[in-house]
A and B are shown apart, each in its own frame.
Chain A
Amino acid sequence: MGLLVEQASKSFPGVRALSNASLELADGEIHALMGENGAGKSTLIKIITGVHRPDGGRLLLHGEEVAFHAPREAINRGIAAVHQERNLIPRFSVAENLMLERLPTSRGLVDFAAVEREARKMLELVGLDIDPRIEVRRLSVAQMQMVEIAKALGHRARVLLLDEPTASISDNEAESLFRLVRQLKAQGTAILFVSHKLEEVLSLCDRVTVLRDGETTLAGASMKGMARGDLIEAMIGRKDRAVVARHRSVAANPVVFEARGVATAFGHRDIDLTLRKGEILGLYGLVGAGRTELARALIGKDKVTSGEVRIKDQPVRIRSVEQAIRQHRLGYVSEDRKFEGVILAHPIRSNIASTVWNRIAAALGFITAKREDRVAMPLATQLEIRTPNLDQLAGNLSGGNQQKVSLAKWLAAEVDVLIIDEPTVGIDIKTKGYFHELITGLADGGLSIILVSSDMPEMVALADRILVMHDKRIVAGFDNSHDYDTVSRSIMAAIHAQSGESVEKPGQAMADATA
């Protein structure tokens, strides 16, 4: 057995990222690790690579229990990871990057001829035909990835973790990556392959482990006979959570926000959506469908290249987020609350009041804590932000309470339309329920909401209407019956119908593998 993770748990302040997750990675296999955002994949990877230490559970390497305190220890034990962020020195040559920690010297000086020689051998291992003397920053992303794999192999890695290796490379490049991965497998390397792409996982991997909400929902299941739907179901879950499904009638309300044939610089095309007053419009899609990017374009963070956006029946051109808030009362709650939602180093009161500083300022622009409190206090009470006082820094709050602050900011701004992106990612199930009640309550109060989510039960519970996004397009739209089984089936059917078009290629890859 290559690597065994037994019952690993890990909590961060306010959220349990992993609870009793297990992974069994055998030598000479390609093992897929899947799960939606916030499922705990990256936490698990960080435990394996020595970045985090688990709160509970064991890590066994070749049958021997290990505890890593730093990435170096994992590397020394033959565990190498190729992360999404490139870990190479951009201005150094490929050769030097490959040999960085063991530069050969002669008479005290680095022997670059030897560096190059060694590097050529390492590049040959991965079949990468480039001049080792060129600087890394001149390489393509795929080439960098290959260099990193070569480097990992140079460390004599027996366990190789590939974190979404195909996220930013072309299909052709992915094919040569797969060839290499299969070759390594044949040599006995244990490979953990993290990916969101169902097709490539189905064709490439031998077994799969799926995480959801920090728990293992599929543990090393064989890929034989596995269907796309099985994987999706394991990732997004069944109706096993309490939901507050409630039928609301908004069809007669006036339209407050409308997009007609919108295209964006990111690649969205023909986006049509209509949002009525008090409606919760769900925007569902798997990771990579382009939901967040669309939200960002709609609020003026990115560019809408063509099409029309209408607010209260008036065509508008939103050029900046500031304009969206001030002129059009349109707000956006980011999925990334730590970096975009709240200012961690600022107290709760300033965070909440930050959207209305202009309005609450006294003469000469003076803002006092008292003035901020007048806005922040009622909202903190309404959202039940659990804190001794509003002086508390946002950074000291739990994830759930940070999210409440992030939401309160927009309520303070008295927006009419709010785009809420993945409101409950990384938030435990109990607090999730609270947020669901809260969002429904806000809509009942007249707020119009676009809910962006990849959490199926959440979508079924909250949305009045659901739009399904796939590959930067809206591929289906229907009223939500709040019946989990029928709705989830319709959503999946819409996504399958689209991704079915591209089944050809992975099938071919399969033929390659068996040939």
Chain B
Amino acid sequence: MNELFSRVIRVQWSGLLAVCILAVLALTIVSPNFLSEYNAFVFLRSLCVSLLVAYSQMVMLGVGQMNLSIGALGGLVAVIVGGLMDAWGVPTLPAIAIALAAGGVAGLVNGWLTVRTGINGFIVTLATGSAFAGINLGITKAIPFYNLPADFVAFGNGRLGPIPNLLIVPLIVSVLLVVFFSRTVTGRHMLAVGGNSHAAELSGLSPNKAIIEAHALSGLLAAAAGILAVAQLGSAQPSIGADWLIISFAAPIIGGASLAGGSISITGTLLAVVLIGLIQNAMVLLQVDPYWVTFLLGALILAAVWLNRYRAVRVGED
């Protein structure tokens, strides 16, 4: 029994999986509506943007940095893609491509500034985040773009039974990220720099290069999240991204990422997003004031970090 226990807790996300399963069971019993096709669709759709947002921060934690500009960057990309399609009449796919590129470039700027100035990335992205938000509001005057191509909006609302079309994007991204971090040289080098940047440098790697690459990838993922949010809402709201900060940190951390860098879990992050989604869904079904979700998220982060600490001691890590 003890051996089984210790073997199970060795898998970082095993606890999360158990909690998710328990939550689903509990919700099914308490609220028959939970498994209804429409509620399942709403639930799954709520995960899509969150997953990309979480991955965007997870990448930064992997390289041992943080990105506070994810929300502002996603918001800026959202109005860029909306503006291109609405005001400029650019077709859907080119508009998406340009918007993604803009996100990647914004990420590069974050990375370049961090490396070049030597200022803590936390401060750099706090500043650029404010700048991105400023550009966003300057362009839009806080007025959304509503006239989006029908195919784009249809994709955002479409579903196959309870499965939203949108879910395809984060699922593909999840698989790509797993491959990227476990099997590509660039991905391994990012984690090496996050794990011990000094050692990585003495091995002949360039920590600066890894940090810039991670910022670019983070920007790309935040951009994808912004575009997905537009598709889901059916309009490009300048306020998109304003509430992403907490979940961007909560999910990777609950998923087992180390704040010291170099250790992340894509499966863990995915399960954490699912768990947070379940909590939000439960609040709706049980008609609890949604503002309490924010409180619960905070408590959950603390609990997760504390549990990870306990697990680390138990397993004999660190």
**Which residues of A are interface residues toward B (Cβ below 8 A)?**
71-72, 75-76, 86-92, 96-97, 100-101, 103, 105, 108-110, 112, 137, 151
Given the complex of chains A and B, what is the CA–CA distance between A97 and B188 in angstroms? 10
Q: Which of A75, A100, A108 contacts B200 (CB 8 A)?
A: A100
B200 touches A110 (CB 8 A): no
Given A91-B262, A100-B205, A103-B188; A109-B200 close (CB under 8 Å):
no
A92 touches B191 (CB 8 A): yes
Nearest residue (CB) in A for B204 is: A101
**Chain B residues with CB below 8 A from A76, complex form:** 204
Given the complex of chains A and B, what is the CA–CA distance between A103 and B317 in angstroms? 26
Nearest residue (CB) in A for B193 is: A89
**Chain A residues with CB below 8 A from B188, complex form:** 92, 96, 100, 103, 110
Q: Is B196 an interface residue (CB 8 A)?
A: yes
**Chain A residues with CB below 8 A from B192, complex form:** 89, 92, 100
Can you list 14 A-B contacts with CB-CB less than 8 angstroms, sorted by A residue number?
Answer: A72-B204, A87-B199, A87-B202, A88-B196, A89-B195, A89-B196, A89-B199, A90-B196, A91-B263, A100-B189, A105-B184, A105-B185, A110-B185, A151-B203
Q: Which of B184, B204, B318 contacts A110 (CB 8 A)?
A: B184
- Taking CB atoms and an 8 Å cut-off, the chain B residues in 216-268 that contact chain A are 262-263
What is the distance, in angstroms, from A69's C-beta to the closest C-beta of chain B? 14
19 additional contacts, CB 8 Å, given A91-B195, A96-B188, A105-B184? A71-B202, A87-B196, A87-B198, A88-B196, A88-B199, A89-B195, A89-B200, A90-B195, A91-B262, A91-B263, A92-B188, A92-B195, A97-B203, A100-B192, A100-B200, A103-B185, A108-B184, A109-B179, A110-B188
Interface residue count on the B side (C-beta < 8 Å): 22
**Chain B residues with CB below 8 A from A137, complex form:** 317-318
A110 touches B183 (CB 8 A): yes
**Chain A residues with CB below 8 A from B317, complex form:** 137
Q: Which 7 A-B pairs have the closest CB atoms?
A: A101-B204, A87-B199, A109-B183, A89-B195, A100-B203, A101-B203, A89-B192
**Chain B residues with CB below 8 A from A71, complex form:** 201-202
Nearest residue (CB) in B for A81 is: B202
A75 touches B202 (CB 8 A): yes
Instruction: How many A-B residue pairs have C-beta atoms within 8 angstroms? Tell me.
Output: 59
| Interface SS, B side | helix
Given the complex of chains A and B, what is the CA–CA distance between A165 and B183 in angstroms? 34
**Chain B residues with CB below 8 A from A110, complex form:** 183-185, 188
Given the complex of chains A and B, what is the CA–CA distance between A89 and B188 in angstroms? 11
**Chain A residues with CB below 8 A from B195, complex form:** 89-92
What is the distance, in angstroms, from B216's C-beta to the closest C-beta of chain A? 18
Nearest residue (CB) in B for A76 is: B204
- Taking CB atoms and an 8 Å cut-off, the chain B residues in 148-173 that contact chain A are none
What is the distance, in angstroms, from A174's C-beta to the closest C-beta of chain B? 23
**Chain A residues with CB below 8 A from B198, complex form:** 87
Given the complex of chains A and B, what is the CA–CA distance between A318 and B318 in angstroms? 30
**Chain A residues with CB below 8 A from B184, complex form:** 105, 108-110
Given the complex of chains A and B, what is the CA–CA distance between A89 and B64 in angstroms? 13
Given the complex of chains A and B, what is the CA–CA distance between A110 and B180 in angstroms? 10
Beta-carbon contacts of B102-132 to A below 8 Å, as 1s and 0s? Answer: 0000000000000000000000000000000
The interface centre, meaning the residue of B195, B198, B263 with most chain A CB atoms within 10 A of its CB, is B195
Nearest residue (CB) in B for A104 is: B185
**Chain A residues with CB below 8 A from B191, complex form:** 89, 91-92
**Chain B residues with CB below 8 A from A105, complex form:** 184-185
What is the distance, in angstroms, from B11's C-beta to the closest C-beta of chain A? 15
Given the complex of chains A and B, what is the CA–CA distance between A75 and B203 in angstroms? 8
Given A92-B191, A109-B183, A110-B183; A75-B262 close (CB under 8 Å):
no
Given the complex of chains A and B, what is the CA–CA distance between A97 and B200 in angstroms? 9
What is the distance, in angstroms, from B43's C-beta to the closest C-beta of chain A? 34
Nearest residue (CB) in A for B316 is: A138
Given the complex of chains A and B, what is the CA–CA distance between A92 and B187 in angstroms? 13
**Chain A residues with CB below 8 A from B185, complex form:** 103, 105, 110
**Chain B residues with CB below 8 A from A103, complex form:** 185, 188
B183 touches A89 (CB 8 A): no
